[in-house]
Chains A and B, each alone.
Chain A
Amino acid sequence: MSKLTPDDIATGKEIFAAQCAGCHGFDGSGQLGPNLHGVEARRGDAGIFSVIRNGTGGMPPVMSLNDQRVWQVVGFVRTLGDTGPVEAAKGDPVKGKEVYAANGCATCHAINGEGGGVGPQLTTVGRSRPPKYFYEFLRDPGKNPPADTSLPERGQSAGYLLVRVVTKDGHEVTGIRVNEDTFTIVLRDVGGHFYSFDKSELKTIEPQPGKTVMPSYGSLSATDMDHLVAYLSSLKGAQ
């Protein structure tokens, strides 16, 4: 990377706010896209440059910036790791792992290949979520559900949306929306079973924003909550 001046970093910040913050959050702590704090350690400067230029996973290539501008964004992203607003988790991750096991989280979530598949995988969730997110989410999981990034083309669809449908012959199914278009909808129940419907067969399609199959863990003790959050924050996958 060519040497960047403070002006370059400021320009990178401006570009980031306009073109990147929509998914990564204005502070880079993650929203629809991953938390970028410490991304330099994981990918290196050239790796970040490559992701911006070529895209990866659900992120499209950024066509509207020349190389110099991309480097300015890389320069700004590097600063996120140094001064970002992520507070250190207060609890003990080892004890948090016990809280995780005792509360049956693995029924729905997988970590390093172990656990269920109904909820999002958590193997690297500590990269993409700051502790404050875990506290808020564990207390009220329906309020701000994560995007489901398993099908990037769904774009702006709300992730893990609970939908209740009733068929014209009276059968009722409530499940997480896996896919929906103008003519069909596919739901998945907590047991992982898929239900595929032609909308013409349904008399009711009722999205239930704010509801979720994930229970609230607001009743955990403050100490257990700290430990659980510390454990989740420690999940960063292979470094």
Chain B
Amino acid sequence: MKAAKYLVMVMALCGALPCFAQVPYERLMKSDAEPQNWLMYGGNYGSQRFSGLKEMTPQNAKDLRVAWAYQMRGGGVMESSPLIVDGIMYVTEPPSNVTALDARTGKPLWHYVPQVPRDFVPVGLFPTNRGVAILGDKLYLATIDDHLIALDAKSGVVRWNSLIADKADGYAITQAPLAINGKIVVGVGGGEAGAHGFLSCYDANDGKLLWRYYTVPRSASDPGADTWADGSWSNGGGTTWNTGSYDPELNLVYWGTGNPVPDWNGEGRMGDNLFTCSLIALDADTGKLKWYFQFSPHETHDWDSSEPPILFNATLNGKPRKLVALANRNAFYYLLDRETGEFITGVPFAKQTWAKGLDAKGRPIKMPAEQIEPSVEGTLVYPTLTGAINWTSPCYSPITGLFYVNARDGGAYYIKGERKFEKGNSNGIVGGGGGGSRPGPADETTTSIRALNATTGEKKWEYKMVGDSWTGTLVTAGGLVFSADAAGNFFALNAETGEPLWHLLLGSSVRSNPVSYSVDGKQYVVDSAGNALFVFSLP
């Protein structure tokens, strides 16, 4: 009965079209108008991960239960953030597979498995995938071995396949691409392998490369080359390994960049090492740099600045402003003007011992080198190598004005190795990049959900967890924040107060970002734990 109703509903929505709804750019631009769907990795172009759904509330959250689960077909770590489009869920599985599911029941509709060479071992990252993009009638998948593949969203049939980079040069991709007006923007990972970072833009119709912006100079005359001593820009780095954001009005793409190379020994690359550990704003039509802001000049702890930039508007000192906020792996929360890149404020959101603070322009005032630089015996510095936040997404609610982040408090002993460096040669690398780290004291590293005033970074509340959680956050119009602790307790908090309302142990750690959608007017929340995808609803 229910299934019959569902099919009728889909046909009614589609009208005379084939039984599949197209997702033109206009729908993506106005994604907030259709909260039943989750149309892109970050939920909307501002990467706010805010769901406009209101069925689940602080009053009824105690009644949440599992609606269905999907067991992944292979092994590996599931980090996918699914899309939900008109009743169909598109989820990715390691290393780069795509599965379409009936979002109401969890029944598979089709499965796509790209040909990934079995002997390919990416450097410095797990071979997994964090999601796809949709535009028109196609899905866009970036594979671990650096292909951008367009799939027919109805069937999983390959429409085109473009090679983004050569994996032999250290490149590997785990991110979801970003679909904008007729274009697909996608970055690359592989900083520990010395991959030379760039951001690319492809024609969504045929996979033709439209532009490519290199984040690290490729010649002595390139901008920023003077910030790398002795031509060390040739080492590479500054990869673009996490999905960015987009402002349709300004037509700017915002993307974070990763570490310089080698990571933990900066002696051979003195200088600020532009444009690593930065936020870059590029013209979406040309790929030209509009502005940049470097969070961590001359970084030596692998604190990439690849965290999702969250776009929102607010009134500051009586003046309406277009803003971008980023909770950085280096433990500072930054607020910038997204038209100009001007620094507005920056404060720590997790324990850090590397900087006295930020100056008026947002540049860190570092502690003395002997206290923070990696050493042969190990230097204890906070945050950990994995950072105060890593790839998982914070979220922002336009209702509460709060920025919710899963923050890690902990330190590591940073070790400097020899400054040997070896480029490419099919996953070749020395010691992960001139050093590494070993853990700080046992039981010390913890994670907390922190709600920050988005315009000041001031903490409004926090919810402390046990252990080292790797879960993103979701906030809903119904007034809930969802995330999970390290053991795999998926939970709901009151978005205004942080009060815990409900939890369920999923039996393995939750290493992904939760999302919400609805089918037939019923709200669902989805996240993965271990090898399975769990979907929750009210009875």
B418 touches A156 (CB 8 A): no
* Contact code string A173-196 (vs B, CB < 8 Å = 1, else 0): 000000111110000000000000
A182 touches B487 (CB 8 A): yes
Name the interface residues of A1-42: CB closer than 8 Å to any CB of B. 11, 14-15, 17-19, 21-23
Decide if A155 is an interface residue (CB 8 Å cutoff).
Answer: yes
The answer to whether residues A21 and B438 also contact, given A64-B429, A182-B485, A183-B503 and a CB cut-off of 8 A, is yes
A181 to chain B, nearest CB (A): 4
| Nearest B residue to A73, CB-CB | B431
Name the interface residues of B414-428: CB closer than 8 Å to any CB of A. 415, 417-418, 420, 425-428
Chain B residues whose CB sits within 8 angstroms of the CB of A102 once the complex forms: none
B94 to chain A, nearest CB (A): 13
B486 touches A14 (CB 8 A): no
A181 touches B431 (CB 8 A): no
B520 to chain A, nearest CB (A): 32
B419 to chain A, nearest CB (A): 10
B466 touches A181 (CB 8 A): yes
Decide if B307 is an interface residue (CB 8 Å cutoff).
Answer: no
B123 touches A182 (CB 8 A): no
Decide if B430 is an interface residue (CB 8 Å cutoff).
Answer: yes
Chain B residues whose CB sits within 8 angstroms of the CB of A182 once the complex forms: 464-467, 485, 487, 489, 491, 503
A163 to chain B, nearest CB (A): 11
Chain B residues whose CB sits within 8 angstroms of the CB of A147 once the complex forms: 442
Chain A residues whose CB sits within 8 angstroms of the CB of B413 once the complex forms: 22
The answer to whether residues A64 and B437 also contact, given A18-B432, A69-B430, A157-B467 and a CB cut-off of 8 A, is no
* Residue among B431, B468, B489, B505 making CB contact with A15, cutoff 8 Å: B431
Chain A residues whose CB sits within 8 angstroms of the CB of B438 once the complex forms: 21-23
Chain A residues whose CB sits within 8 angstroms of the CB of B503 once the complex forms: 182-183
B122 touches A63 (CB 8 A): yes
Distance between Cα atoms of A180 and B125 in the complex (Å): 28
Decide if B31 is an interface residue (CB 8 Å cutoff).
Answer: no
- Between A and B, 10 residue pairs with Cβ closer than 8 Å are A15-B417, A21-B415, A22-B438, A63-B123, A66-B426, A155-B486, A157-B443, A181-B505, A182-B487, A182-B491
A18 touches B487 (CB 8 A): no
The answer to whether residues A66 and B121 also contact, given A18-B432, A22-B438, A183-B503 and a CB cut-off of 8 A, is yes
* Residue among B121, B418, B468 making CB contact with A14, cutoff 8 Å: B418
Decide if A216 is an interface residue (CB 8 Å cutoff).
Answer: no
* Contact code string A57-73 (vs B, CB < 8 Å = 1, else 0): 00000011110110000
Chain B residues whose CB sits within 8 angstroms of the CB of A162 once the complex forms: none
Decide if A82 is an interface residue (CB 8 Å cutoff).
Answer: no
* Residue among B125, B127, B426, B443 making CB contact with A156, cutoff 8 Å: B443
B432 touches A19 (CB 8 A): yes
Distance between Cα atoms of A66 and B124 in the complex (Å): 11
Chain B residues whose CB sits within 8 angstroms of the CB of A74 once the complex forms: none
Distance between Cα atoms of A15 and B425 in the complex (Å): 18
Given contacts A15-B417, A183-B485, 15 further A-B contacts (CB under 8 A): A14-B420, A17-B415, A18-B415, A18-B417, A22-B413, A22-B437, A64-B124, A64-B192, A68-B428, A158-B443, A180-B466, A181-B467, A182-B467, A183-B489, A207-B443
B437 to chain A, nearest CB (A): 7
A181 touches B487 (CB 8 A): yes
B431 touches A18 (CB 8 A): yes
Distance between Cα atoms of A187 and B255 in the complex (Å): 46
| Nearest B residue to A179, CB-CB | B487
Distance between Cα atoms of A181 and B464 in the complex (Å): 11
B258 to chain A, nearest CB (A): 15
Distance between Cα atoms of A158 and B443 in the complex (Å): 6
Distance between Cα atoms of A70 and B485 in the complex (Å): 34
Name the interface residues of B485-520: CB closer than 8 Å to any CB of A. 485-487, 489, 491, 503, 505, 508-509
Decide if A161 is an interface residue (CB 8 Å cutoff).
Answer: yes
Distance between Cα atoms of A231 and B413 in the complex (Å): 35
A130 to chain B, nearest CB (A): 19
Q: Which 10 A-B pairs have the closest CB atoms?
A: A22-B438, A181-B487, A18-B436, A158-B442, A182-B485, A18-B431, A158-B443, A15-B431, A182-B465, A66-B427
Decide if B126 is an interface residue (CB 8 Å cutoff).
Answer: yes
Chain A residues whose CB sits within 8 angstroms of the CB of B127 once the complex forms: 63
Q: How many residues of B contact A (CB 8 A)?
A: 46
| Nearest B residue to A147, CB-CB | B442
Decide if A169 is an interface residue (CB 8 Å cutoff).
Answer: no
Distance between Cα atoms of A65 and B127 in the complex (Å): 14
How many residue pairs between the two chains, A and B, have CB atoms under 8 Å in the bound complex? 98
Chain B residues whose CB sits within 8 angstroms of the CB of A153 once the complex forms: 508-509
Decide if B309 is an interface residue (CB 8 Å cutoff).
Answer: no
Decide if B181 is an interface residue (CB 8 Å cutoff).
Answer: no
Decide if B197 is an interface residue (CB 8 Å cutoff).
Answer: no
| Nearest B residue to A181, CB-CB | B487
Chain B residues whose CB sits within 8 angstroms of the CB of A158 once the complex forms: 442-443
The answer to whether residues A14 and B445 also contact, given A63-B121, A157-B467 and a CB cut-off of 8 A, is no
Name the interface residues of A127-186: CB closer than 8 Å to any CB of B. 147, 153, 155-159, 161, 179-183
B470 to chain A, nearest CB (A): 11
Decide if B439 is an interface residue (CB 8 Å cutoff).
Answer: yes
Distance between Cα atoms of A66 and B192 in the complex (Å): 12
Distance between Cα atoms of A15 and B434 in the complex (Å): 9
Distance between Cα atoms of A69 and B464 in the complex (Å): 40
Chain B residues whose CB sits within 8 angstroms of the CB of A183 once the complex forms: 485, 489, 503, 505
The answer to whether residues A181 and B509 also contact, given A18-B415, A63-B121, A155-B468 and a CB cut-off of 8 A, is no
Chain A residues whose CB sits within 8 angstroms of the CB of B264 once the complex forms: 18
Distance between Cα atoms of A159 and B438 in the complex (Å): 17
The answer to whether residues A156 and B439 also contact, given A14-B430, A18-B431, A65-B429 and a CB cut-off of 8 A, is yes
Distance between Cα atoms of A17 and B485 in the complex (Å): 31
A63 touches B126 (CB 8 A): yes
| Nearest A residue to B484, CB-CB | A182
A66 touches B486 (CB 8 A): no
A16 to chain B, nearest CB (A): 9
A65 to chain B, nearest CB (A): 7
Chain B residues whose CB sits within 8 angstroms of the CB of A65 once the complex forms: 429
B407 to chain A, nearest CB (A): 15
* Contact code string B443-474 (vs A, CB < 8 Å = 1, else 0): 11100000000000000000011111000000
Chain A residues whose CB sits within 8 angstroms of the CB of B428 once the complex forms: 66, 68-69
Chain B residues whose CB sits within 8 angstroms of the CB of A159 once the complex forms: 442
| Nearest A residue to B376, CB-CB | A17
* Contact code string A84-104 (vs B, CB < 8 Å = 1, else 0): 000000000000000000000
* Contact code string B308-328 (vs A, CB < 8 Å = 1, else 0): 000000000000000000000
Name the interface residues of B162-201: CB closer than 8 Å to any CB of A. 192
The answer to whether residues A157 and B442 also contact, given A63-B121, A181-B489 and a CB cut-off of 8 A, is yes
Chain A residues whose CB sits within 8 angstroms of the CB of B122 once the complex forms: 63
Distance between Cα atoms of A158 and B200 in the complex (Å): 45
Q: Which of B122, B376, B418, B426 has the most CB of A within 10 A?
A: B418
Distance between Cα atoms of A14 and B442 in the complex (Å): 24
B29 to chain A, nearest CB (A): 39
